Amino acid sequence: MNCRQADIIIIGSGLAGLMVAEMLSPHKNVIVITKSSMKHSNSMMAQGGIAAAVDRDDNWSDHFFDTVVAGGFHNVEEVTKKLVKKGPILIDKLIELGVPFDKNEHGDFALGQEGAHGRRRILHSGGDATGKALVECLLKRVLKKVSIIEYEMAIDLILDDNGNCIGVNTRNTEGISFCNYANHTILATGGVGQLYPITSNDESVNGDGMAMAYRSGAELTDLEFIQFHPTMLAKDGMAYGLVSEAVRGEGAKLITGTGQRLMDDVHELKELAPRDIVAREIHRALERNEQLFLDITSIQDFETHFPTITSLCKSSSVDLVKGLIPIAPGAHFIMGGVCTDQYGQTTVPRLYAVGEVAHTGVHGANRLASNSLLEAIVFANEVAQNIMSKLDRPLFKKAIKVQKHRLNFELPTIEEIQHMMMTNVGIIRSQESLEKAVDWFSRYKDIVDHNHLLELKIEEKIICNMLTIGYLIATSALLRTESRGGHYRSDYPVTKPDQWYKKQIIRSLNRTEIKRADQECEQRKEGIVS
Ligand code: SIN
């Protein structure tokens, strides 16, 4: 088999992977491997920006509070604090690297508002094209120092006899396989959006990294928490792309076909309530066969503020003069993933995970808007520092046995998997629907457990990974007998935030530097939380 060797192999070319590459490449030999083009990733498509407490009137504790309220108090406290505290430092780093964040006429950051944020806190670049600005800036830098191998899919991780990860097997679109050996292997493969028929995710994002980590014995957690973005541009059951929450932040209203405001009696934050609440309300209305629109008529200069969404509307024949964008919720983000510590280390030695594929615990049961690009940069920095602090040990390569394993049954289609997930493990689940899904996925249990099915074609491997992740999500959802954040069951009520935990989080903020925030939290908690 063809072999490559590097100090570091990064799988995935989104923001998290590129940021680690940027930070390690001056010191290490780094290879990035990506399944499609380096220009295709969820990061590249991210319209929303980066949340960070950079305004002089903002502080990390307010950002922390909004993050844990949106997260259903399921967040890992210490790591979440690291996220919000380090956010502004990493924003400075991005500026140093050349990211042009949007400014207002006074030369201050033009901060946007999004759902469940207590204030304007979102930095953008290029209006609604923040992800593109970030990825392009990093690619320009990284391409000078790092080899990026495109159109090559990671098949399975390679472990040595002591259980250390020593690289990854890949296969390119011509069917040629490679063994890629490295001292440190980093998963930056994104989430699972393509498991659902309507999704904001790039078509390459179908849970490969998580499935591969699972097969290597890594621990995964919280997979039942799936965030559905409330507003995908959708017509006749087809999705055409995301309509950023920033549009609601600028005043767009959710209305029914008869002009009624949807969120009026649902939540005091109305359109800017946490995403799970808005998405569920839209889902229920669509089930009642109502039509739903985002009314953007109150937004001045829509086309200037939102160039990406404007061209999306134009290409899908939505008349911007009427100002009504047809919408439906779509799978957007998975809060769970491959368990890591706060330095990105998974439970498999020398294997790291960063970005959406990782479960750092910062998102709890439901991610706060624009915290994902933030997570990518903050924990990319942690992974890079962590690896730099380690001594490189000699790498003992292991011969890879190509198993001549053949499937003795037919695989389902991607559409069948998506239908199974949306109908039974979607926005609203129940014991009955989840048992149905687990039962269906169990037919393919052999695939879930098998490693190194190297004989498979890439398209078949993708389906196997989707079956693995579908099975794991459905099983986790069945096991969680409560409703919380992105996991809503019609047979269990929403768990009220545990009073002790709530208190503990608020108490832990009680230092002089944030005394004001502490008092505010106390005042707000009953109103917002309970
Ligand atoms: C959006 O722009 O609405 C998406 C941003 C995010 O998911 O954080």
The pLDDT tens digits of the residues spanning 25-52 come to 999 999 999 999 998 888 888 888 999 9
Which of 83, 205, 226, 245 is the best mutation target for the ligand 1 pocket, counting ligand atoms within 8 Å of the beta carbon and taking the most?
245
pLDDT of residue 406: 67
Q: What is the mean pLDDT of residues 485-514?
A: 68
Look up residue 478 and give its two tokens: 């069945």
- Asked if pLDDT for residue 293 goes beyond 80, the answer is yes
Residue 17's nearest CA partner among 33, 29, 28 is: 33
pLDDT one-digit tens code per residue, 504-522: 555 455 443 344 444 444 5
Which residues are annotated as catalytic? 275
Average confidence score pLDDT of the chain: 90
> In whole angstroms, what is the distance from residue 369 CA to residue 326 CA?
21
Supply the pLDDT for residue 398: 73
**Atom of ligand 1 at shortest range from CA of 368:** 8
Per the CB < 8 A criterion, the answer to whether 230 and 362 are in contact is no
102 Cα to the center of ligand 1, angstroms? 17
Is the pLDDT score of 20 beyond 50?
A: yes
- Cut 0.85: pTM above it: yes
Find the 112 Cα to ligand 1 centroid distance in Å: 11
Q: What is the pLDDT of residue 64?
A: 95
Q: Could you give the CA distance from residue 408 to residue 355 in angstroms, rounded to a whole number? A: 36
Ligand 1 neighbour 246 (Cβ under 6 A): yes
Q: Residue 61: CB within 6 Å of ligand 1?
A: no
Q: How many Å lie between the centroid of ligand 1 and the Cα of residue 355?
A: 15
Given a cut of 60, whether residue 385 has pLDDT beyond it is: yes
Q: pLDDT of 406-462, one tens digit each?
A: 677 789 999 999 999 999 999 999 999 999 999 999 999 877 776 655 578 899 999
Cross-strand partners of 6: 182
- Give pLDDT, residue 510: 44
- pLDDT tops 50 at residue 298: yes
Tell me, what's the pLDDT at 513? Answer: 36
Measured N-to-C along each axis, helices 372-388 and 130-142 cross at an angle, to the nearest 10 degrees, of: 20
End-to-end CA separation in angstroms for the chain: 59
The 10s digit of each residue's pLDDT in 135-168 is: 999 999 999 999 999 999 999 999 999 999 999 9
The whole-number pLDDT of residue 349 equals: 96
Angstrom CA distances, 364 to 115, 360, 518, stand at 16, 9, 21
User: What is the average per-residue pLDDT within 127-137?
Assistant: 94
Q: Whose CA is nearest to atom 4 of ligand 1?
A: 48
Token look-up 């003992």 returns 396
The band of 405, judged by pLDDT with boundaries at 50, 70 and 90, is low
Q: Choose one of 229, 248, 282, 368 to mutate for the ligand 1 pocket test, by most ligand atoms within 8 angstroms of C-beta.
A: 229
pLDDT of residue 266: 94
Q: What percent of the chain is predicted at pLDDT more than 70?
A: 91
pLDDT higher than 70, residue 501: no
pLDDT of 39 reads: 87
pLDDT in tens, 386-403: 999 998 777 777 766 656
Provide the token pair at 475. Answer: 């099983």
User: Is pLDDT above 60 for 503?
Assistant: no
CA of 372 to the centre of ligand 1 (A): 8
User: Which domains, and CATH codes, for the chain?
Assistant: 2-225+335-388 (3.50.50.60), 227-331 (3.90.700.10), 405-479 (1.20.58.100)
The closest alpha carbon to 99, from 379, 354, 376, 368, belongs to 376
Residue 293 pairs in a beta bridge with 255, 326
pLDDT on residue 309: 95
Task: Give 514 Cα–ligand 1 centroid separation in angstroms.
Answer: 28
pLDDT of residue 156: 93
> How much is the pLDDT for 45?
86
Decide: 227 in ligand 1 pocket, CB within 6 A: no
Which of 436, 192, 435, 430 has the alpha carbon at shortest distance from 330?
A: 192
pLDDT of residue 312: 94
Report the nearest-CA residue for atom 8 of ligand 1.
370
